[in-house]
């Protein structure tokens, strides 16, 4: 793309506000280049980028072009005479409501009926709504847990999961054919409402969604009888989780929930945190103050679109420590399966799904309860595919799915991770162990003693701009052509390359096929059940490195993690 020519074109074609923004950077070639050297890429995770004018930014024009591409894909895939419909939700980010309205008007102009929520809603509620309203697709306007300068656009298929690679490729093809200024159809909003092409939806969908969430209670009677004895602090991080999370907790019996007032209401600036990400303890500084004041043992936080959840628990020294997504996933897996076993209700064909970069302790837990474990690529849509597969074939009972990046789902009512159901289950789990005179912290220690000391760490290396993109590619190429012989002092015994769909046993030279979709992931299997995985992020300018280590003791596992983190600098340079 000739970025200077595209810049000049936008100055001629865009609206006055956009032109004003672009005029302000005239002469700043680096800034112009960054905004126009490429188009914001549409992938299986949709769009995500910094807000602003330009082809490499999130704005009404880019959203419009993407929506026209989606509309074209729906018509192309389903036929011009098909009865098409889309449901749209949005979170608290800047322009989320504007982008959702823009998308609705474009879909309406293409003859596609659109259901638009009247206020911000969580991503999992959107996923549920696709099935509940029987729409052909769904859109969530959100950038999940990214910093405030970002926004994004996730597209969902008729099954309620994010678009699979095949459909996403068609959307991208249609986007490329669509001129960003002249190729996008758009109908007046009021006209679309009058014609029934845009339908506003309210709380009736949310109540149906919460009914399904409530069905996932493991010990409903316990929560009903003893829920008020559990004190915990909740923060929605200025996002969409505030109402649905508090509603579901109240429904099942948790009335003693303290909400962080400074982070309660929607605010796209996220003024109280550097990143609205429940993975990081720093964002919980206000919540910790509340917890100390009220004597709570548990703190729960959901991200802006309420699909991820993070927790802090009080340890044996009275300090609040954060648990990783892997730890919470292991805790919930054990809790759900132990509760089913108590009721003699573990299905023989039951299974748990995890992603390839998620803790391997799950396999040990599944083996102990005599159920299966399925492994999928990174991205919750692949967990959704396993649910769909079981529904279509009648083979296998889905029990729980999660990924290391703080996403969990119990139940089949949605096809995306759900912080609302996860928060409910975490509260219920905390109450269950409290009634046994224990705690979540103590239970985690019991799990390690029972299954082994599996410890994990994700290291992200940010590489922005054109140079960063080239660096990410060269790093992956280098590791493919010359993989390390050992990591953290552990010999590499096998290499899985998910781009070539091949696993090579380095001792025997035996090659075997990887039966998963192709993906730019390199997985190094190390001695003693240790693993090292590297892949580019699908939503951010980063290389992500996953260190999955196992030790005979906690000290050994932690020592291996420190060693592997040192090796990351050498490998990714």
- Tell which residue, 467, 447, 545, 534, has the closest CA to residue 497: 534
Sign of the four-CA dihedral 57, 161, 240, 97? positive
The alpha-carbon radius of gyration of the chain (Å, integer) is 24
CB atoms inside a 10 Å sphere around CB 286: 16
- Tell which residue, 532, 225, 201, has the closest CA to residue 217: 225
Per DSSP bridges, beta strands 407-409 and 397-403 are antiparallel
Residue 482 contacts by C-beta under 8 Å, 6 or more apart in sequence? none
Residue 455 contacts by C-beta under 8 Å, 6 or more apart in sequence? 549, 550, 551, 554, 557, 558, 560, 561
Q: At what angle do helices 465-481 and 29-36 cross, to 10 degrees?
A: 60
DSSP string, 387-427: HHHHHHH---EEEEEEETTTEEE-SSS-SS--HHHHHHHHH
Give yes or no: 144 in active site. yes
d(CA 412, CA 22): 46
Q: Residue 244 CA to chain centroid, in angstroms?
A: 18
List the structure tokens of 381.
């849509």
C-alpha distances (whole Å) from 102 to each of 65, 160, 185, 302, 449 are: 11, 21, 11, 27, 53
List the structure tokens of 298.
């548990």
Say how many residues make up the chain: 573
Instruction: Lay out the sheet containing 85-90: strands in order across.
Output: 47-50, 150-156, 137-141, 85-90, 113-117, 198-201
- Tell which residue, 389, 402, 356, 417, has the closest CA to residue 162: 417
Which residue(s) pair with 255 in the sheet?
none
Element (H, E) at 300: strand 298-302
Question: Active-site residue among 85, 92, 129, 144?
Answer: 144
Burial of 288 (0-12, 13-18, 19+ CB in 10 A): middle
Instruction: Lay out the sheet containing 397-403: strands in order across.
Output: 372-376, 350-355, 397-403, 407-409
**203, HSE (Cβ side, Cα atoms, 13 Å):** 3
User: What residues are annotated to the active site?
Assistant: 144
């Amino acid at each position: 793309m000739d970025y200077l020519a595209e810049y000049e074109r936008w100055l001629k074609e865009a609206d006055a506000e956009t032109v004003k923004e672009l005029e302000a950077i005239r002469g700043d070639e680096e800034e112009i280049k960054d905004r126009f050297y490429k188009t914001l890429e549409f992938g299986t995770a949709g769009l995500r980028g910094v807000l602003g004018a330009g082809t490499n930014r999130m704005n009404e024009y880019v959203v419009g072009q993407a929506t026209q591409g989606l509309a074209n894909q729906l018509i192309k895939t389903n036929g011009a005479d098909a009865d098409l419909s889309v449901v749209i939700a949005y979170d608290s980010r800047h322009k989320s409501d504007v982008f959702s309205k823009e998308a609705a008007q474009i879909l309406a102009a293409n003859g596609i009926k659109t259901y638009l929520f009247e206020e911000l809603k969580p991503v999992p509620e959107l996923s549920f709504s696709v099935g509940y309203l029987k729409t052909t697709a769904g859109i969530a306007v959100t950038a999940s847990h990214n910093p405030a300068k970002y926004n994004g656009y996730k597209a969902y298929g008729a099954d309620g999961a994010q678009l699979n690679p095949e459909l996403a490729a068609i959307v991208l093809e249609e986007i490329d054919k669509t001129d960003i200024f002249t190729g996008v159809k758009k109908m007046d909003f009021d006209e679309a409402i009058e014609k029934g092409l845009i339908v506003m939806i309210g709380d009736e969908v949310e109540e149906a969604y919460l009914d399904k969430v409530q069905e996932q209670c493991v010990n409903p009677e316990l929560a009903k009888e003893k829920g008020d004895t559990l004190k915990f602090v909740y923060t929605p991080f200025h996002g969409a989780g505030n109402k649905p999370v508090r509603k579901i907790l109240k429904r099942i019996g948790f009335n003693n929930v303290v909400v962080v007032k400074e982070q309660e209401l929607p605010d796209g600036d996220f003024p109280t945190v550097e990143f609205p990400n429940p993975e990081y303890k720093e964002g919980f500084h206000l919540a910790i103050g509340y917890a100390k004041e009220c004597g709570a043992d548990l703190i729960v936080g959901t991200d802006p679109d309420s699909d991820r959840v993070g927790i802090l628990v009080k340890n044996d020294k009275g300090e609040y420590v954060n648990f990783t997504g892997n730890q919470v996933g292991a805790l919930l897996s054990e809790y759900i399966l132990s509760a089913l076993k108590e009721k003699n209700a573990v299905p023989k064909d039951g299974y748990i799904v995890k992603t390839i970069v998620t803790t391997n302790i799950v396999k040990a837990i599944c083996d102990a309860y005599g159920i299966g474990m399925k492994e999928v690529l990174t991205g919750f849509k692949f967990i959704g595919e396993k649910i769909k597969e079981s529904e279509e074939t009648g083979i296998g009972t889905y029990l729980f799915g999660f990924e290391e990046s703080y996403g969990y789902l119990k139940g089949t009512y949605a096809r995306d991770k759900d912080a609302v159901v996860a928060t409910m289950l975490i509260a219920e789990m905390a109450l269950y162990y409290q009634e046994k005179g224990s705690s979540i912290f103590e239970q985690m220690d019991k799990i390690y003693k029972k299954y082994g000391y599996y410890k994990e760490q994700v290291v992200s290396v940010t590489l922005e701009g054109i140079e960063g993109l080239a660096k990410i590619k060269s790093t992956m190429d280098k590791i493919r052509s010359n993989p390390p012989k050992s990591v953290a002092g552990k010999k590499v015994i096998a290499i899985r390359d998910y781009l070539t769909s091949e696993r090579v046993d380095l001792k025997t030279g035996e090659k075997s096929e990887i039966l998963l979709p192709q993906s730019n992931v390199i997985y190094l299997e190390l001695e003693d059940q240790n693993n090292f995985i590297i892949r580019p992020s699908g939503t951010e300018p980063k290389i992500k490195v996953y260190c999955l280590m196992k030790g005979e003791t906690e000290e050994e596992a932690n020592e291996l993690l420190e060693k592997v983190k040192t090796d990351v600098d050498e490998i990714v340079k």
